[in-house]
Structure 1
């Protein structure tokens, strides 16, 4: 797996705040949030670490747990993590908080299933599944599974099965509160700054807070519209 060159760039905390607080939902020309680069870097480093642990033993690329082998691809996808995440954002416009929550889910999944290791064979399926589930948790409106499947390069049946198995393997523990969200932001800051040169302030807000703010803005706009009529 080729590591993205973006990992050598320093993220401006001011720019990151702008992405998180001023992200414009629905705009076709929205730039890729910087948290996408952060997640790509962290996942790539995790894969490299797991590859070293495997010690070139190809059998360890497959999960020892039969239930999690559903995430294994028969053929290795020819797309870097950075490119794959950028593709998902480009076609779904999932907000920055979705990727933080997706990372929470990935970590919970790995903790709940200790025999599972993120590698080149399962990472793409895991990412599209967790991002889709996180989008359903965070966003007010979502695309259908069939659309996410096309974006991720899967069939609808495959993604439906991945989502179902993921939920059961997670024990349906999808709630992410403020303290958990902030703790993972700190973890992203600490881990990625070590290997990627990133400097991330704790400005990523809880998905629930972002969702609440959008609802308040919509109610306010509706009130203004009624006044102007």
Structure 2
């Protein structure tokens, strides 16, 4: 998997390229969803904060990468988990926006680390990294696991497909942006596990699953 090997390398921001790629995707999704939901706090979710955190998605991911020190593969698996959670949570209108993206990220990475890495930090440490309390971290983890139906296994094929999406994101970051759509829609993640090989283009990253 050449894409996966390239994603492990560090980029200009001195962090794994996979972190920069995932940050780019989530920044775009967050911006579009903010326009779609107009910060509607009536949507009940443990992952939605009452106020927008003062740290950007990219800076938050850089903080996680710096202190969590997990394997780069964890970020690919965290991306898979986020996709699974959001697809299962459509009926609740759960989406990645400025109010939820940080909690979703820290919880997805925590779940991926526990599933993949033999050596890892505990929940108390991740809570400090994420800027939340241990009680909240524990609650979010349980809510997340139930949200994905405890479906934590990722096949090599699925892993490779999501690597391809992240690699494509790095290439698309240098391409001119497409004009925004006239009607905002809730955006989820970038690739369905049923759409094998469908994520390695700029257009597929702009047309996220609805």
TM range (shorter): 0.7 to 0.9
Matched, 1:53 2:36: yes
Determine the structure 1 residue equivalent to 2:155. 177
SS at match of 1:172: coil
Aligned residue pairs total: 169
Shift in Å at residue 19 of structure 1?
Answer: 6.1
Matched, 1:149 2:149: no
Shift in Å at residue 151 of structure 1?
Answer: 0.6
Matched, 1:96 2:72: yes
Rounded Cα–Cα distance in structure 2 between residues aligned with 1:62 and 1:135: 32
Shift in Å at residue 190 of structure 1?
Answer: 3.6
Shift in Å at residue 62 of structure 1?
Answer: 4.9
Gaps of 5+ in 2: 176-210
1:77-226 mapped onto 2 (5 Å cutoff): 77-114=53-90, 115-191=93-169, 193-194=171-172, 196-197=173-174
Rounded Cα–Cα distance in structure 2 between residues aligned with 1:46 and 1:132: 21
2:50 to 49, 71, 74: 74
Given that residues 67 and 129 in structure 2 are in contact (C-alpha distance below 8 angstroms), is that contact kept between their aligned partners in structure 1?
yes
Given that residues 50 and 117 in structure 1 are in contact (C-alpha distance below 8 angstroms), is that contact kept between their aligned partners in structure 2?
yes
Deviations 1:11-60 (A, max 9, x none): xx89x83663x89xxxxxxx411111101000001112212323xx332x
Given that residues 23 and 58 in structure 2 are in contact (C-alpha distance below 8 angstroms), is that contact kept between their aligned partners in structure 1?
yes
Given that residues 74 and 109 in structure 2 are in contact (C-alpha distance below 8 angstroms), is that contact kept between their aligned partners in structure 1?
yes
Larger radius of gyration: 1
Given that residues 44 and 81 in structure 1 are in contact (C-alpha distance below 8 angstroms), is that contact kept between their aligned partners in structure 2?
yes
Determine the structure 1 residue equivalent to 2:195. none
Shift in Å at residue 140 of structure 1?
Answer: 0.8
Moved over 4 A (4+): none
Seen in structure 2, the aligned counterparts of structure 1 residues 178 and 73 have a Cα distance that, compared at 3 Å, is same
RMSD, matched Cα: 2.2
Seen in structure 2, the aligned counterparts of structure 1 residues 149 and 186 have a Cα distance that, compared at 3 Å, is same
Given that residues 62 and 72 in structure 1 are in contact (C-alpha distance below 8 angstroms), is that contact kept between their aligned partners in structure 2?
no
Given that residues 127 and 133 in structure 2 are in contact (C-alpha distance below 8 angstroms), is that contact kept between their aligned partners in structure 1?
yes
Seen in structure 2, the aligned counterparts of structure 1 residues 74 and 136 have a Cα distance that, compared at 3 Å, is same
TM value normalised by structure 2? 0.74
Given that residues 24 and 169 in structure 2 are in contact (C-alpha distance below 8 angstroms), is that contact kept between their aligned partners in structure 1?
no
In proportion to residue count, which structure has more helix?
1
